[in-house]
């Protein structure tokens, strides 16, 4: 473990590689009187909706923990943005969180230069030709509400006030649980300076809410074992906290929060975490039983975790038939709760009113993915059988599912187009060839063949039941089902 005093390095102001584009933006929270006036005046302002990841970045900027940087907004929204225009920044529910007074509208970051930090916390902003970057003064209006562990959430000013009574404050900023080796180091460092420990958990959204909550409980359990004067607080951790300026940023944040110096943890605990996630046994010499129990609750063995199996393929490829056959086999086993989200059935209920344009098809698959992820979040096994022609949208579904802490298996039902067209059970291929149906996948709309699915099957020379057996065997081999 090494330590660095926050004053040894300059605070993170204007250090982004695009900072030269920004005309010295400033940021901070408005007092309540000004905030109320801004809310009242905002009804006619242009606005931009932020994602949860954007909000994480924005909150740290407004708290003075990260440097302001250009914000990415949709290009169509930028047409009304002149110098001095107030842009309302809203959370996913429509609440205005902040105001950006535009100083300059910039071109999007070239894809070759994108680092994922050009929209607050949005890894996909860099290189987006449909977005522009906007720089200017940021004024916070409404602090985002974080409902979990509210007792452990304090603003930087509140923390500084609380910690000011201590002569020495050592800070540890971590996104993982701490184990015995960490505790031994912490105990020695705190005792040497008779210091107060500030333990800051960095909440990474990509880890999933269940995992970050488990880490919080594990850190509380660790502090009970450590038994030194301490303060635990939680801090959102956007992606750019973990770029190549990681250590510099964390050193500066520790200072802003009121610490005398920051301690850097060793790597031993990372290996312990990995073993627990993998379901491997961990000795009592490596961690505390209470810490391990909290982490294992968030990382059950695969056969107890949620899973989404997405079947993709052309119309008539046999996706639904194989999915139904697999559902039957799973019901026979009786060890998993199974939900089937078939493309046709979903369109009658969840996606009623959507057409078959590329945009509507993508929306349909995203809806299926969202519902599947929520079922899998609670341990369910979900079989999805849409055409899902776009690789990018399939990747979005994978991300949704994995962010929910569940597994994702992509099965490509690779029946060739000519076979699907010969079957034509619904007569749609004939209508597409005759021009009576537009945007039909495989005829006049593209299908992105999966490059690296977890499994590839076809129903030309293999029966649907045999294909289902192949999928079942694959799930057993991957640990998602127990062997029978």
28 is in an annotated binding site: no
pLDDT over 70 at 245, yes or no? yes
pLDDT digits 0-9 by tens, 423-470 = 988 899 999 998 898 889 999 899 999 999 999 999 999 999 999 999
Is 15 annotated in a binding site? The answer is no
Task: Establish whether 316 is an annotated binding residue.
Answer: yes
Averaged confidence pLDDT in the chain: 87
pLDDT band, very low/low/confident/very high, at 231 (cuts 50, 70, 90): very high
Instruction: Tell me if 2 is assigned to a ligand binding site.
Output: no
Q: Give the mean model confidence (pLDDT) for residues 329-335.
A: 95
Q: Which of 150-164, 298-312, 349-363 has the lowest mean pLDDT?
A: 349-363
To the question of whether residue 355 is assigned a binding role by annotation, the answer is: no
Domains, the chain, ordered by start: 9-140 (3.10.400.10), 150-298 (3.40.50.620), 303-477 (3.40.50.300)
Asked if residue 319 belongs to a known ligand binding site, the reply is yes
Summarize the confidence of residues 176-199 as an average pLDDT.
92
pLDDT at residue 339 tops 70? yes
SS3 readout for the chain: CEEECHHHCCCCCCCCCCHHHCCCCCEEECCHHHHHHHHHHHHHCCEEECCHHHHHHHHHHHCCCCCCCCEEEEHHHHHHCCCCCEEEEECCCCCEEEEEEEEEEECCCCHHHCCCCCCCCCCCCCCCCCEEEEEEEEEECCCCCCCCCHHHCCCHHHHHHHHCCCCCEEEEEECCCCCHHHHHHHHHHHHHHCCEEEEEEEECHHHCHHHHHHHHHHHHHHHHHHCCCEEEEEEECCHHHHCCCHHHHHHHHHHHCCCCEEEECCCHHHHHHHHHHCCCCCCCCCCCHHHHHHHHHHCCCHHHCCEEEEEECCCCCCHHHHHHHHHHHHHHHCCCCEEEEEHHHHHHCCCCCCCCCHHHHHHHHHHHHHHHHHHHHCCCEEEEECCCCCHHHHHHHHHHHHHCCCEEEEEEECCCHHHHHHHCCCCHHHHHHCCCCCCCECCCECCCCCCCCCEEECCCCCCHHHHHHHHHHHHHHCCCCCCC
Confidence of residue 109 (pLDDT cuts 50, 70, 90): low
Instruction: State yes or no: pLDDT of 79 exceeds 80.
Output: no
pLDDT for the residue 116: 40
Question: How confident is the model over 316-324, as a mean pLDDT?
Answer: 95
């Amino acid at each position: 473990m090494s330590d660095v005093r926050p004053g040894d390095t300059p605070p993170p102001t204007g250090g982004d590689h695009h900072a030269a584009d920004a005309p010295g933006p400033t940021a901070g929270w408005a007092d309540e009187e000004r905030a109320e006036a801004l809310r009242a005046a905002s009804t006619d302002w242009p606005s931009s909706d932020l994602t949860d990841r954007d909000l994480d970045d924005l909150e740290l900027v407004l708290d003075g923990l990260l440097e302001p940087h250009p914000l990415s907004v949709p290009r169509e929204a930028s047409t009304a943005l002149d110098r001095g225009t107030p842009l309302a920044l809203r959370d996913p529910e429509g609440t205005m969180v902040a105001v950006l007074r535009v100083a300059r509208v910039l071109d999007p970051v070239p894809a070759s230069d994108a680092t994922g930090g050009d929209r607050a916390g949005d890894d996909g902003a860099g290189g987006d030709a449909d977005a522009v970057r906007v720089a200017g003064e940021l004024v916070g209006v409404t602090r985002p509400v974080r409902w979990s562990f509210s007792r452990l959430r304090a603003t930087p000013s509140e923390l500084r006030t609380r910690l000011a009574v201590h002569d020495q404050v050592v800070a540890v900023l971590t996104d993982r649980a701490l184990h015995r080796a960490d505790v031994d180091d912490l105990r020695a460092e705190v005792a040497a300076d008779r210091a107060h420990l500030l333990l800051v958990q960095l909440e990474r959204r990509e880890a999933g809410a269940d995992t970050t909550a488990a880490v919080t409980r594990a850190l509380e359990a660790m502090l009970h074992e450590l038994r030194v004067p301490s303060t635990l607080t939680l801090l959102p951790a956007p992606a750019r906290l973990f770029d190549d300026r990681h250590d510099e940023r964390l050193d500066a944040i520790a200072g802003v929060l009121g610490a005398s110096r920051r301690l850097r943890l060793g790597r031993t605990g990372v290996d312990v975490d990995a073993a627990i996630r993998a379901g491997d046994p961990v000795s009592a010499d490596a961690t505390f039983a209470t810490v391990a129990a909290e982490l294992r609750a968030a990382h059950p063995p695969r056969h107890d975790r949620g899973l989404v199996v997405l079947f993709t393929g052309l119309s008539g490829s046999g996706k639904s038939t194989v999915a139904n056959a697999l559902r039957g086999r799973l019901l026979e086993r009786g060890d998993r709760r199974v939900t089937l989200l078939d493309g046709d059935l979903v369109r009658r209920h969840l996606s009623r009113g959507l057409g078959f344009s590329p945009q509507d098809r993508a929306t349909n698959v995203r809806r299926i993915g969202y519902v599947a992820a929520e079922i899998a979040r609670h341990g369910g096994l979900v079989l999805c059988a849409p055409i899902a022609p776009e690789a990018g949208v399939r990747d979005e579904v994978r991300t949704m599912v994995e962010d929910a802490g569940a597994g994702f298996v992509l099965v490509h039902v690779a029946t060739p187009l000519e076979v699907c067209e010969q079957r034509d059970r619904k007569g749609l291929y004939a209508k597409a060839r005759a021009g009576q149906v537009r945007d039909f996948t495989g005829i006049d709309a593209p299908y992105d063949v999966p490059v690296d699915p977890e499994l590839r099957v076809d129903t030309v020379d293999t029966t649907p039941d045999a294909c289902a057996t192949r999928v079942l065997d694959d799930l057993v081999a991957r640990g998602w089902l127990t062997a029978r």
